[in-house]
């Protein structure tokens, strides 16, 4: 192995050595503790340390790095205290996730590190969002994110690189090519010869480096970073390396040919660099011993701190509270000066969005065709002229990357809105929403200030892929908030409230209401409280609990059948207003739950169960549910009408009143 020191001073070369040695010595300690049963699991980076160390030291301290399992050198290189790092691995209360997650599944904004989730690929898009924030703020910074060769097979890899290239974001995508995805060799992972072949296809440059040569890694990443700060663009870097131990210790390395292990053993990044420093007289034998002893003492001190640290104590109230960033919504009521003008549902959404853009200069809108075209429903029409294309951004067709970028923007203190062209398409971004946005604050205290707008619902003969009511998918996910307005007033108020809230909010807007429903909407900025239901109608015979288009179905059915009903519009589905439900149930004793979503697995089942547990003594009849058929949404209007619940609603209302 050849080392080219160029003009780097001895102090830097020795710092690289210390930082290279530290993760190796930590690993040696952890492997002993693993055999002693004091550590539960370990992902080894032995053989790959030069990549983490060289690239980390090449960046400025305020530039974000997004590492993986085998990037211990990122954390030690950024000066993360060992006592707290070890506590994280041990699930102690003093760890970065307070015992809620393990290994490197955490972030620390103090050290500008965003840890991984087990799905590997999604963090690449988060890097895009961080870099986008720097570009918008005109900050000359780069973002560095890692991927293994196996993880690069995920669709998130493609989406993140494509977005970074289209938007010319200063992201270094560093591929640690160690030849295996767990036990699967490269020739069963991909058919191309080298990852550098991928760069030109994305319109970005790509370079290959010796990932076991810490000096080469440092020099290349440092040179690229200096250039990217002045000329923002993404770069793909392939670092050739090898993992000398199993994917994790339990998996072993029996699948690796012995001769391959022997070949890479001669390329050990720590041993080769140490020998070179000694041969060049940069490192003395005395200093070598002293450095090792100093690091070992630091490791031992950190381990003693961890052993003395308390285990987490389960506290349900604290666990529930930490799912969300604490937030006291400001009171934003419109002035009571005369009647409010009538506005269509779609115009109310547009007005709320426009006023929020003016209120929050850090808010960035992202979605397919939302810029000059104005979106398929024209809600953002004219926004580019008003707010500029930097803040109103057309995106490629890559829902996952754009939702992930929203989290990245949040990490840099911005707000993001992601428009799903249709709610049905959210499946392509599902992982980012439920595993990144929803869990981020609970895991490491980083909120996801992201609103996902979801044009939803049937009734327009749009078939099974443009008509689904999929809100219940997300009401099962702690950490999210889910709102669903039924009228223009709440459409504006809830959208403004969603942007005020620093937590991830899914905002469902029924397409059928866009241009068919009008109502009074104050022109001034105001918010409708998230989590509070509202009575759309009062009556003493039955209680109908519903939301969205269901409110209008209930109003029409009650008028037609002369039924006096409380019609409770939930407005927020997570968290839903249990107190309002209880008041109406205890008042009337007869309850019908109505929603457009299919019956099985719909939110109505959860509400019915809660009523049975908490209001059983007040019931005069069994709780009834009315919903759409348990089928996909059909295309032909007669079939769609049979799918939707209006006729069944009338039958069940009469049966409930007469029970």
Q: How far apart are CA 387 and CA 371, in angstroms?
A: 10
Under 8 Å between Cβ of 401 and 163: yes
Q: How far apart are CA 626 and CA 604, in angstroms?
A: 8
Under 8 Å between Cβ of 62 and 69: no
- Packed helices 214-230 and 10-35: angle between N→C axes, nearest 10 degrees: 120
Q: Which residue in this structure is represented by tokens 């005369």? A: 338
Tell me the HSE value of 100 on the side-chain side, using a 13 A CA sphere.
Answer: 20
C-alpha closest to that of 563 among 656, 457, 480? 656
Which CA distances in Å does 46 have to 218, 243, 278, 279, 343? 18, 6, 21, 23, 64
Residue 8 DSSP one-character state? -
Choosing from 158, 247, 466, 595, the catalytic residue is 466
Q: How far apart are CA 248 and CA 56, in angstroms?
A: 23
Q: How far apart are CA 403 and CA 95, in angstroms?
A: 28
Residue 332 DSSP one-character state? -
> In a 3-state reduction of DSSP, which class is residue 248?
coil
Q: Is the peptide bond before 224 cis (omega within 30 degrees of 0)?
A: no
Q: How far apart are CA 138 and CA 121, in angstroms?
A: 27
The DSSP bridge pattern shows strands 235-240 and 143-148 to be unpaired
Task: Give exposure, 182-215, as e/b (b: 16+ Cβ within 10 Å).
Answer: eeeebeebbeeeebbebbeebebebebbbbbbbb
Write out the two tokens for 225.
């970073």
C-alpha closest to that of 477 among 451, 504, 497? 504
Q: How far apart are CA 182 and CA 186, in angstroms?
A: 10
Write out the two tokens for 234.
């993404």
Radius of gyration of the chain (CA): 28
Under 8 Å between Cβ of 21 and 290: no
> In a 3-state reduction of DSSP, which class is residue 244?
coil
In degrees and rounded to multiples of 5, residue 499 shows phi and psi of -75, -30
Is residue 158 annotated as a catalytic residue, yes or no?
A: no
In degrees and rounded to multiples of 5, residue 345 shows phi and psi of -55, -45
Which positions are catalytic? 466
């Amino acid at each position: 192995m050849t080392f080219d020191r160029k003009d780097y001073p001895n102090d830097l070369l020795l710092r690289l050595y210390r930082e290279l040695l530290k993760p190796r010595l930590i690993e040696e300690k952890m492997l002993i503790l693993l055999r002693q049963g004091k550590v539960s699991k370990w992902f080894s980076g032995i053989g790959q340390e030069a990549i983490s160390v060289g690239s980390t030291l090449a960046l400025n301290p305020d530039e974000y790095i997004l590492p993986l399992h085998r990037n211990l050198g990122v954390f030690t290189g950024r000066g993360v205290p060992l006592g707290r790092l070890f506590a994280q691995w041990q699930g102690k209360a003093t760890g970065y996730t307070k015992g809620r997650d393990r290994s490197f599944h955490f972030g620390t904004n103090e050290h500008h590190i965003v840890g991984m989730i087990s799905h590997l690929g999604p963090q690449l898009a988060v890097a895009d969002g961080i870099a986008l924030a720097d570009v918008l703020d005109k900050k000359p910074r780069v973002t560095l994110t890692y991927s293994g060769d196996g993880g690069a097979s995920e669709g998130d890899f493609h989406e993140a690189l494509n977005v970074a290239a289209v938007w010319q974001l200063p992201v270094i995508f560093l591929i640690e090519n160690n030849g295996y995805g767990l036990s699967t060799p490269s020739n069963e992972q991909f058919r191309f010869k080298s990852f550098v072949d991928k760069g030109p296809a994305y319109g970005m440059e790509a370079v290959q480096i010796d990932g076991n040569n810490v000096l080469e890694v440092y020099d290349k990443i440092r040179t690229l970073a200096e250039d990217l700060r002045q000329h923002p663009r993404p770069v793909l870097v392939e670092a050739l390396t090898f993992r000398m131990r199993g994917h994790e210790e339990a998996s072993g390395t029996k699948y690796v040919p012995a001769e391959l292990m022997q070949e890479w053993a001669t390329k050990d990044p720590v041993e080769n660099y140490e020998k070179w420093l000694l041969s060049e007289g940069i490192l003395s034998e005395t200093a070598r011993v002293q450095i090792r002893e100093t690091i070992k003492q630091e490791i031992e001190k950190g381990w003693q701190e961890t052993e003395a640290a308390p285990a987490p104590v389960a506290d349900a109230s604290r666990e529930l509270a930490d799912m969300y960033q604490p937030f006291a919504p400001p009171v934003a009521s419109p002035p009571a000066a005369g009647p409010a003008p009538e506005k269509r549902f779609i115009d109310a959404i547009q007005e709320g969005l426009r006023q929020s853009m003016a209120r929050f200069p850090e808010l960035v809108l992202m979605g397919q065709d939302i810029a000059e075209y104005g979106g398929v429903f024209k809600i953002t029409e004219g926004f580019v002229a008003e707010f500029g294309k930097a803040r109103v951004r057309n995106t490629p067709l890559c829902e996952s990357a754009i939702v992930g970028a929203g989290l990245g923007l949040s990490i840099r203190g911005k707000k993001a809105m992601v428009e799903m062209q249709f709610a049905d398409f959210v499946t392509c971004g599902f992982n980012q929403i439920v595993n990144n946005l929803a869990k981020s604050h609970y895991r490491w205290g980083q909120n996801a200030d992201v609103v996902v707008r979801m044009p939803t619902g049937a009734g327009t003969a749009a078939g099974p892929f443009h008509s689904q009511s999929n809100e219940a998918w997300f009401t099962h996910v702690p950490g999210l908030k889910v709102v669903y307005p039924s009228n223009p007033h709440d459409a504006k108020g809830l959208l403004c409230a969603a942007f005020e809230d620093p937590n991830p909010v899914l905002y469902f807007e029924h397409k059928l209401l866009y241009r068919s429903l009008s109502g009074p909407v104050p022109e001034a900025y105001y918010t409708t409280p998230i989590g509070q239901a509202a009575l759309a109608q009062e009556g003493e015979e039955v209680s109908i609990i519903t939301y969205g288009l269901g409110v209008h179905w209930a109003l029409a059915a009650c008028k037609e059948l002369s039924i006096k009903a409380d019609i409770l519009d939930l407005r927020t589905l997570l968290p839903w207003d249990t107190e309002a439900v209880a008041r109406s149930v205890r008042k009337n004793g007869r309850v019908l739950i109505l929603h457009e979503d299919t019956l099985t697995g719909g939110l109505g089942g959860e509400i019915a169960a809660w009523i049975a547990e908490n209001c059983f003594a007040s019931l005069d009849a069994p709780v009834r549910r009315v919903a759409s058929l348990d089928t996909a949404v059909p295309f032909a209007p007669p079939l769609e009408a049979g799918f939707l619940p209006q006729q069944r609603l009338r039958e069940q209302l009469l049966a409930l009143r007469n029970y």
